[in-house]
Amino acid sequence: MAKEVELTTNFDDILHDTEIKIVVELMGGLHPAKEYISDALNAGKNVVTANKDLMATFGSELIALAAKNKCDLMYDASVAGGIPILRTLSTSYASDKISEIQGIINGTTNYILSQMGEKGLSYDEALKNAPKLGFVEADPTNDVTGKDAAYSIVILSKFAFGTKISINDFTIEGINHLQKFDIEQAQAMGYVIKLIGIAKNIAGKLFVKVAPCLLPNNAIMAHIKNELMLCKLRVKVLAQRFLLDQVQVV
Ligand SMILES: NC(=O)C1=CN([C@@H]2O[C@H](COP(=O)(O)OP(=O)(O)OC[C@H]3O[C@@H](n4cnc5c(N)ncnc54)[C@H](OP(=O)(O)O)[C@@H]3O)[C@@H](O)[C@H]2O)C=CC1
Ligand SMILES: N[C@@H](CC=O)C(=O)O
């Protein structure tokens, strides 16, 4: 790190430094991230965060606080930042009508399922290898139980449909109960298992779910492997759009 970069472990040093105009929060979790971001916004600082748990849970409150303080609160990296999808949804589809968004929106689970399917690893073996690659949450529980994908679909629904939903409003099923046997059975029938998040407008009502799904081998999404993500949009004018994450984990 360059000598002129000052380091501190005291948040107040950042808060009271009037030369700091932008605060970047990358600690994760709800607390104290929420308090730090709120304090930074109230101090007139712009904030950048990749914290999807926080934005899915307290996003409306924090966005209102940013507006009140005439500050920017940027969180494009919080959901499939490698695509990137939130900015794309807010800019490229402004004149279109989205009726469905679905996809592989968690890299950890896609990696685990790919490794189980292609290398014949057990769930535990695949999970053990995943953290080395850097995209697993500090506590992988949220990834494997589908909660991380659920947070993402909450934020995606807000951008696609303008809804304010919480992860308690819909069914969430993870991959933590899947065994090698399940993957093998799917393969024997010509399918792969993928953890899919979906938000769909059905006759004016929003259907939202996160669950492992069987996809036929020839489906585009079946070919999205390891940590890659893919979002499929169904839109009125442009029909189907596929947005693929091209991030290479190094
Ligand atoms: N990893 C990824 O691919 C992606 C992650 N994100 C999001 O980015 C955020 C960070 O993820 P990631 O980098 O993987 O997480 P890590 O757990 O690897 O890093 C978090 C860092 O924050 C520090 N930290 C945690 N709590 C505090 C605290 N109270 N005060 C000061 N420092 C703290 C940790 O320090 P220490 O280790 O000492 O505890 C650690 O250095 C999360 O919100 C995650 O959801 C978003 C997109 C992709
Ligand atoms: N843990 C997430 C990455 C960060 O949001 C994932 O596995 O996709």
Domains, the chain, ranges and CATH?
A: 11-78 (3.40.50.720), 85-249 (3.30.360.10)
CA angle (179 as vertex; 175, 181 as ends), nearest 5:
135
**Percentage of residues of the chain with pLDDT beyond 70:** 98
What pLDDT is attached to residue 250?
Answer: 44
108-129 average pLDDT score: 95
Q: What is the band of 107 on the pLDDT scale with cuts at 50, 70, 90?
A: very high
Mind listing the pLDDT tens digit for each residue in 201-250?
999 999 999 999 999 999 999 999 999 999 999 998 777 888 888 655 44
pLDDT of residue 242: 87
106 lines ligand 2 (CB under 6 A): yes
pLDDT, average across residues 172-185:
97
Query: Which residue CA neighbors atom 3 of ligand 1 most closely?
Result: 135
**Residue-wise pLDDT tens digits, 217-226:** 999 999 999 9
For the chain, the average pLDDT equals 94
What pLDDT score was predicted for residue 171? 98
Mean pLDDT, residues 141-164 taken together = 96
Supply the pLDDT for residue 246. 66
Q: Taking residues 135-146, what's their average pLDDT?
A: 91
Nearest atom in ligand 2 to 137's CA: 1
Specify the residue with its C-alpha closest to ligand 1, atom 38: 27
pLDDT at 70: 98
> What pLDDT sits at residue 247?
53
- Cβ of 53 less than 6 Å from ligand 2: no
pLDDT tens sequence across 46-101:
999 999 999 999 999 999 999 999 999 999 999 998 888 999 999 888 888 999 99
Distance of CA 40 to the CA centre of its chain: 24
Ligand 1, residues at Cβ distance < 6 Å: 26-28, 32, 50-52, 77-78, 81, 134-135, 137-138
How confident is the model at residue 100, as a pLDDT?
96
Ligand found nearest the CA of 112: 2
